Structure 1
């Protein structure tokens, strides 16, 4: 049995991925952090206007990329448009259908630079201003919009009928789930890519055996899956070769109640993974963290203390230098007797250490 499981894992690792998903995952985390610092993109008038700009400006511009007067050099996508584009691509089947219906091909991210990469936007701004003289290239996210979005919105419906508002709201909590130091670690991500291939292999086996199962990823696998989808041409090509179809990404179900679709799907995926590969499916640092806490309100504070000591940049760097972080996975098995003990019998320090180490094992 162990030999068969080992062969299944080796077979899974033969799945070909055309992109560097480790680099893509790290870039995605940087981008999501930037969006999270501009929370007006999650809801309200800025979100609606960003969707309008994405449909009416960015997609048509992207479709013109092959034209000679645009093709020189990469395009730099504005932050608000990139966020909506990000969420649109995370429904790969819908995105592919929209692009092919309205533009005749999948609009890819080839020769497009993310706004977080710090590239010069001069050329893209010139092209944008030529095409859209009345619409600024950069949307000022710090001001309230006074433009009548409702009047402009119908103009952009020709780009997609997909409900992008709902898509954004479904994706907004994702950053909290993956905003952990381990997710940026190379070894952790290398393992995540291997586990993603294992996840795809399970789906492939289910298709071959006509088994209908809703496979649910852990968050390390999901981060890599998202990173793959953000390269739509490669994703479609890779999925067709691996599975014979473009794999749908269903993010519409968020009910984690016991006995519901997500709970049943995760339990089934866990059992299938362990039977197929002989290894544990859940992974420390990759499980659901619960609901994201409300943002902290920042109260400006001005100190009347003045430090007259001048610290050189080099000395400051030495003072703030931290040792390299190491991640250790700890497995805890709690007896039924311990769980029945009242809180009072546990010292605060011991309980605190337990609460820090304990990981949500439900997804």
Structure 2
């Protein structure tokens, strides 16, 4: 990328280069040692300073343009992270270059993002030079394939090299672990229109930076990915930011605490005000906002979570060729003691629940007069063939806080966790949640449409949840109640958006279908009340639409269109392939949560039903009871006790 590019040329280049950066982030994600394994990273820094930079300098001196060369992945990664601090990278690279070529004392080492094909060709050329100049140093790092996320021993000193780089690259690598999930798995970042708008916003961000040089401005993730992309081309970055802002714009990613009162939180709110005052438009953008950070502790147990999933799948196959299971409610009201073993982990899926709890405490401290209600239920997944085998169980928690003054509105959080059951062990449950469903803000995702890329894709009447499977964000589900409400039928309307690379590129409708007794034919009977069906529906969807990707939970399942079925009335869950059963179960639970939350209600006294005949009486259906619905055995367990039907208008949960 030439430094003399005009703004329109730079705009076009950045749109394309963002995709190259996302590809690199996805490649690095395959090797978690590149985030936090100090032995791996120290070795990468040694290779970067002692091998790669001398190789580039000698290649340039001999007439080989070093932009045509690409290093191995570990070196590429620490180089890219180093570039994210321009004010440290500039003097560091000048010093490294001059150590090889003493006559060149002001040379900033340039870097270019390459496409996958370009990088393969450039690596092939670099491998030949590497082998001839450094025959005793392997081109590919021996630590990548065997390197764990963290060292077993924090004091390991297998690589004793002391880096001369002034930027703490190793600490910065760990911070970049969070950046991947915010941008690389979301499909809007692969859409040119979304990125084109992001480049426009990045240029506006630089303009604001020029106006407020001493203020720490916090970018949204769409502007940040463009900012990172620009910094990957240091000569162009130095030239452009110096011309626009009068200086090389610094980039500081060391401030990560977003809690109230923290520096980043305060800087974010100041950025919002300055942006609106200057451009007269809001800075937040759908699909570009934070979705929270996965803690290192959670990341470290990801392997155990995946092992528990595989164990469940293999046991199901051994128990018989059954691809359907049933969700049944139990009356267990509190967590077993063995669940305490994982509660010291800061789970991503519990972040919303913790936030609501913290808000309730603060309101109570400051005289907010908060009333709290909580429902916790446990369900068990039963095999249809009746085999006595271990299966899955679910913890469902609703927490609601009603502030008496001034509005009386109810705030609530939804948290569901899926565990593999082990009835042979004394603990009863294997280690950690293998799947989860939790609330997310509507602005954390955006709809994808050819005409209106900025369309949110979710209305205010919809509830939106994230489905996590195997320690990864798997899908987003949105639900709302549709149909007629003045004496007519109502219906739950669901949509789902598969995440991760090669996942769904748009919202897909979860189809309402006839309930089937088995995979072939037959229907469950429907109860009628006043001419209206009051049995919750059966739904079908495909989770194989994204095609096959190595290591992915989603696969193209033998060409099937409907890979997952779940019947809210019977509690039956069916899927076409065993290695998607946990995902199918999590999706079914999410559908049940949607029904419980979105079904219209009316005023009712304790002990009386508070349903209107629109939809099902939740107490009659085990799956709905298990997902937090009304229960016969304890009518006082109501999180949502106030009506949601007013004439023909459906009011969002918590409004009266």
TM-score band, normalised by shorter chain: 0.7 to 0.9
* Deviation per residue, 1:65-122 (Å, 9 max, x gap): 3122644881121111000001000001100011123323110025977788432633
Q: Which has the larger radius of gyration?
A: 2
The counterpart of 1:161, out of the listed 132, 156, 166, is 166
Is contact 2:218-2:268 (8 Å) kept? yes
Q: What is the rounded CA distance, in whole Å, between the counterparts of 1:268 and 1:87 in structure 2?
A: 27
Please say if 1:27 is aligned against 2:20: yes
Considering only aligned residues, what root-mean-square deviation do their CA atoms show, in Å?
Answer: 3.4
* Deviation per residue, 1:128-162 (Å, 9 max, x gap): 112211110111321359x96444x03xx34x232
Q: How many residues align?
A: 306
Task: Tell me how far 1:19 sits from its aligned partner.
Answer: 7.1
Look up the SS of the partner of 1:64 in the other structure. helix
Residue number in structure 2 paired with 1:122 = 124
Structure that is richer in helix per residue:
1
Kindly report which structure 2 residues correspond to 1:137-286, keeping only aligned pairs within 5 A, or say none.
137-140=139-142, 141-143=144-146, 149-151=158-160, 153-154=161-162, 157-158=163-164, 160-179=165-184, 180-207=186-213, 212-286=214-288
Q: What is the rounded CA distance, in whole Å, between the counterparts of 1:242 and 1:135 in structure 2?
A: 43
Q: CA, structure 1 residues 14+51, in 2 after alignment: closer, same or farther (shift >3 Å)? A: closer
Compare 274-283 and 324-333 and name the one that shifted more.
324-333
Task: Tell me how far 1:325 sits from its aligned partner.
Answer: 5.2
* Deviation per residue, 1:185-215 (Å, 9 max, x gap): 11000000000011111111224xxxx3211
Q: What is the rounded CA distance, in whole Å, between the counterparts of 2:291 and 2:9 in structure 1?
A: 31
Q: Give the structure, 1 or 2, with the largest relative contact order (CA under 8 Å, sep 6 or more).
A: 1
Structure that is richer in strand per residue:
2
Gaps of 5+ in 1: 1-12, 307-323, 335-345, 354-363
Q: What is the rounded CA distance, in whole Å, between the counterparts of 1:106 and 1:114 in structure 2?
A: 25
Q: What is the rounded CA distance, in whole Å, between the counterparts of 2:264 and 2:75 in structure 1?
A: 31
TM-score for both structures, normalised by structure 2: 0.43
Q: CA, structure 1 residues 348+150, in 2 after alignment: closer, same or farther (shift >3 Å)? A: closer
Q: CA, structure 1 residues 60+115, in 2 after alignment: closer, same or farther (shift >3 Å)? A: farther
Task: Tell me how far 1:124 sits from its aligned partner.
Answer: 1.4
Residue number in structure 1 paired with 2:31 = 38
Q: What is the rounded CA distance, in whole Å, between the counterparts of 1:252 and 1:176 in structure 2?
A: 18
Q: What is the rounded CA distance, in whole Å, between the counterparts of 2:77 and 2:86 in structure 1?
A: 15
Is contact 2:448-2:457 (8 Å) kept? no
Residue number in structure 2 paired with 1:63 = 57
Q: CA, structure 1 residues 283+143, in 2 after alignment: closer, same or farther (shift >3 Å)? A: same
Q: What is the rounded CA distance, in whole Å, between the counterparts of 1:292 and 1:282 in structure 2?
A: 22
Q: What is the rounded CA distance, in whole Å, between the counterparts of 2:179 and 2:109 in structure 1?
A: 24
Q: What is the rounded CA distance, in whole Å, between the counterparts of 2:138 and 2:174 in structure 1?
A: 25
TM-score for both structures, normalised by structure 1: 0.74
Q: What is the rounded CA distance, in whole Å, between the counterparts of 1:292 and 1:284 in structure 2?
A: 21
Please say if 1:348 is aligned against 2:593: yes
Gaps of 5+ in 2: 1-5, 98-104, 149-155, 322-446, 462-491, 493-591, 599-656
Is contact 2:221-2:289 (8 Å) kept? yes
* Deviation per residue, 1:228-284 (Å, 9 max, x gap): 000001000111100111010011110101122111111111111111111111011
Is contact 1:274-1:280 (8 Å) kept? yes
Residue number in structure 1 paired with 2:527 = none
Is contact 1:202-1:273 (8 Å) kept? yes
Is contact 1:182-1:285 (8 Å) kept? yes
